[in-house]
Structures are given as C-alpha cells and as structure tokens.
Chain A
Amino acid sequence: MIQIRGLEKYFGTLQVLKGIDLDIPKGEVLSIIGASGSGKSTLLYCINGLEAIQAGTVSVAGTDVHAKGTDVNKLRQKMGMVFQQWNSFPHLTALENVALAPKIVKGKSKAEARDIAAKQLKHVGLGDKLDVYPSALSGGQQQRLAIARALAMEPDYMLFDEATSALDPELVGEVLDTMRLLAEDGMTMICVTHEMSFARDVSDRVAFFHEGVIEEIDTPANIFGVPKSEHLQKFLSNIR
C-alpha cells in the first residue's frame, strides 16, 4: 500500500506538486495521465525518494519514504522503476544488466543472480539475448531489459514513467504487452502513460493530473466515458 498525504514539491520557487492525496492499495494498477509539465514524473520520483519533498508524506508499506532515518536504498528494492529513456547500462551485457543489483544490493551469489536474471529476461522475451550488449538491442528490447532489471529485485511495486513514449510506434506494442502481463500477475503498478488504450484496458483507476494536482481520479470507464472536469474533457478531445 502506498499512501500519499498533502504532498508538495518545489523546484526552487516553482511549485510542481500542490498537495497530492492518493492511496494505492496492493494489486492496483493506476494510470496517470495529463499534459506535459503537470508533474507526473515528479510524483513518481517523490514516491521512491529520488526527489526530496517540501511538505506532506509518502509512505510505502508503512514506511515514511522521506523521514530522516529511512533507509531509502532498502525501500527502493521494493519499488522497481522504468524510465522513459531506457537507461540500460551500456557497458554490461543484458544478463549483467539484470544480475548486477541482485548481486550487489541484495547480496545474492553470482550463480543465483545469473539464474534470476536469465529467468527474468526469458520472462520479457529476451531469453536469446543474454550475452548481447544493449547497443545491439532495439529500443523496445532495451525497454523490456529495463523491466526485467527492475523485476529481478522482486519488487512489490512497479513505477512506469512513460515507458513507451520514446519508442518507435511499431515497438510500443511489445512493451505494453509486457506491462499487461505484469498487471495480470497482480503487480501493484503506477503507470504514467500517454497510451490511452493501455490506461483504459489495463488499469483499475486512472488519475488525471493538471498543473500539480489530481484533478480527477476514477475508473477508466468514468474517466474516458463521462469526464467531469473541463480540463480533462479538453485533454481527451485533443488526444482523439
């Protein structure tokens, strides 16, 4: 369970998050949509402690992420994150990319880490690419590699920040399919996305961000069928 209360975030004098309250129960798939610059990425960074916050609290499974004594490195093991830019580590093979964190963060043996990595890579359809360097992978494959890398830490939560928006259109499908599979497995997911079909078909709830606040949050049927706020209506009509 992720619990966010009164979250405020500033970059200098620019207020990017203006009081966010949000509960994400275990097993939920939440999609976040909204215009560019509305604070969606920033929210994800605040949830796993990659950005500091100025007011409010974020708690993950009962642990206050931003409290002084919190071991964020430990907390982040429970939260996988996939970024818009796929961020594979270019100096490591696919297998090494995935095996590294289990080995040095979780202290798994080399053999164990390799097994976990091979299993996760197979899971995302990269079973035949174990010893390939990322430069020889397509964008979609690199993004699936990033998903496998996050999953190898056996997280309870997965945060996706526009995992498909830097991909060529024909590669979007394979990454979305991988995310769908994960959702079906019962993973708790927060997905910032521009893929409205994914938001509609896969998520339990959809949150619409507007200028640093959650302006509307509801089931996909209501968000896309009967949008209430004017901004959301406008946002959706621009996309269609």
Chain B
Amino acid sequence: MLDYNFHWRPVFKSLPDLLAAGLTTLEIAALSMVLGIIFGLALALIRMHMRGPLKWVASAWVELARNTPALFQLFFFGFGLGAVGIHMSPYVIVLAALSFNCAGYLAENFRGGFQAIPDTQIRAARSLGMTAWQSYTRIIIPQVFRIVYHPLTNQIVWAVLMSSLGMLVGFRELSGETQALASRTYRIFEYFAVTAVIYYVIVKIILGASRLLSARLFRY
C-alpha cells in the first residue's frame, strides 16, 4: 500500500469527460423521476380506487420494486427482456429500470400522502361545483405533494446513486465512464475517488436546490 504512487494527472485531464458523464447521470435520474412520479401517482390511485386485474398489476409492481434488489430489476430490463428477444439500448434499459423502481417507492409515499388528506377536503371541493379531476389537481395533489416532498427529494438522490448500476449493462453514465477511463490508464483508485467527489457534489447540489425550492413552494 505504501509503495503505491498516486497519479492524479490523467484523471484531471479527463475531467471534462467525467463531468459530461455526470450530466448524463443527472439527466437519466431526472427523467426517471418524472416518469416515476407519473407512474407512482397512477399506481397509488389504482391501488386505492380500483379492483380487478389492473389493481393486481399495480400491487405486483409496487411489491417487486420495493422488495427485490435494484440490480436484479436492472438485469431484468437488460438481460431478462434481451433473452426473450426484446433488445433496448443501455440508455433505455437504465431509464426503464430506474423509473420502475422509483414508481414503486413513490407509489407508497403517495398513498400515505393521499390517506393523510381528510375526505372532507374532497367534499368541500365538490360542493363548490368542482369536478373530480379539478378537486384532485387543485386541492388534493398540491397537499399530497407537500407531504411527499422530502421522500421525493430522497428518491432523486437515490436515483442518482442507483444509476451507477447502469455501467453493468454497458451504459456510459458517470460510473461507466469512470470505469472505462480507469481501465485504460490503470489509475483505478484515483478515478473512482474523483468520481465519488463528483457524486457527492451532485447530491449536495440537489439537496440545496430542494431546500430552496421548498421555501418558495410551501409558504403555508
């Protein structure tokens, strides 16, 4: 260990490549959050209000997403679907797996959020002549959004970190890029140390932005 000579120069030279890959990571995390929120909301509403096959599918989705390793979910979308002839690009595989996972976790958060809003809020909204859709979008969901805001922030952080699994299906996000560069130069420790710092900074920026946004959004 003491014989090891650190060589940081190759890492710093490829910093632009690493930062670009960091943006890819951020992009896929953000996209999977958007999809995760949309599907998570739908899953929560289906599980609360419907019966029959659609509800079974929604429940299975949530159960699998929350109770199996995220890595297996990724492999399912990559190698599992690949085995039955459905081939997708690494980007799509990672996006699908992350969205699947986020939707499952968020669905439970949303469900808890909906249950925390008293029924009487809906009644009051409907009594004013609002449609069911208007009551949900104007009265219920904004309140649920506040309740799930912090879990949502945690989920974005989780998506950023979990996207690193993408390198195992050949996706060149931050970890994949680091791996590729590191194996070319054999400066494995240095590369991953710098990349860890980049992850750390990305997460801190997200948390800071989230705090600023919440102060603006929730004044009540």
Asked if B129 and A90 make an inter-chain contact with CB atoms under 8 angstroms apart, the answer reads no
Evaluate whether A73 and B130 lie within 8 angstroms (CB atoms) in the complex, with A85-B118, A90-B220, A104-B138 already known: yes
Interface locus among A6-14, A76-84, A119-127, A208-216: A76-84
The answer to whether B20 has its CB under 8 Å from any CB of chain A is: no
Nearest chain A CB to B220 CB, angstrom units: 4
Q: Which residues of B contact A89 (CB under 8 A)?
A: 121, 124-125, 139
Query: With A and B bound together, what is the CA distance between A69 and B212 in angstroms?
Result: 48
Instruction: Identify the closest chain A residue to B146 (Cβ).
Output: A91
The answer to whether B87 has its CB under 8 Å from any CB of chain A is: no
Asked if A83 and B134 make an inter-chain contact with CB atoms under 8 angstroms apart, the answer reads no
Nearest chain A CB to B212 CB, angstrom units: 19
Asked if B129 and A73 make an inter-chain contact with CB atoms under 8 angstroms apart, the answer reads yes
Asked if B130 and A104 make an inter-chain contact with CB atoms under 8 angstroms apart, the answer reads yes
The answer to whether B123 has its CB under 8 Å from any CB of chain A is: yes
Instruction: Identify the closest chain B residue to A105 (Cβ).
Output: B129
Asked if B120 and A85 make an inter-chain contact with CB atoms under 8 angstroms apart, the answer reads yes
Asked if A104 and B134 make an inter-chain contact with CB atoms under 8 angstroms apart, the answer reads yes
Query: With A and B bound together, what is the CA distance between A150 and B126 in angstroms?
Result: 11
Instruction: Identify the closest chain A residue to B121 (Cβ).
Output: A87
Contact with A along B177-220 (1 / 0, CB 8 A): 00000000000000000000000000000000000000000111
Query: With A and B bound together, what is the CA distance between A90 and B116 in angstroms?
Result: 13
Q: Which residues of A contact B127 (CB under 8 A)?
A: 48, 50, 76, 79-81, 83, 150
Instruction: Identify the closest chain B residue to A103 (Cβ).
Output: B138
The answer to whether B128 has its CB under 8 Å from any CB of chain A is: yes
Evaluate whether A101 and B128 lie within 8 angstroms (CB atoms) in the complex, with A90-B143, A91-B146, A135-B220 already known: yes
Instruction: Identify the closest chain A residue to B137 (Cβ).
Output: A104
Nearest chain A CB to B216 CB, angstrom units: 14
Q: Which residues of A contact B123 (CB under 8 A)?
A: 50, 83, 87
Q: Which residues of B contact A235 (CB under 8 A)?
A: none
Q: Which residues of A contact B142 (CB under 8 A)?
A: 91
The answer to whether A149 has its CB under 8 Å from any CB of chain B is: yes
The answer to whether B131 has its CB under 8 Å from any CB of chain A is: yes
Query: With A and B bound together, what is the CA distance between A87 and B146 in angstroms?
Result: 18
Asked if A101 and B129 make an inter-chain contact with CB atoms under 8 angstroms apart, the answer reads yes
Query: With A and B bound together, what is the CA distance between A85 and B142 in angstroms?
Result: 20
Nearest chain B CB to A135 CB, angstrom units: 6
Show 13 A/B contacts (Cβ-Cβ < 8 Å), sorted by A: A73-B131, A76-B127, A77-B129, A80-B127, A83-B123, A83-B124, A85-B118, A101-B128, A101-B129, A101-B130, A105-B128, A105-B134, A146-B124
Additional pairs, 11, CB under 8 Å, beyond known A76-B129, A80-B127: A48-B127, A50-B126, A73-B131, A80-B128, A81-B124, A83-B123, A87-B123, A89-B124, A91-B142, A91-B143, A91-B218
Q: Point out residues on B near A: beta carbons under 8 Å.
A: 118, 120-121, 123-131, 134, 138-139, 142-143, 146, 218-220
CB-CB nearest 7 A-B residue pairs: A87-B124, A101-B128, A133-B220, A81-B127, A77-B129, A76-B129, A105-B129
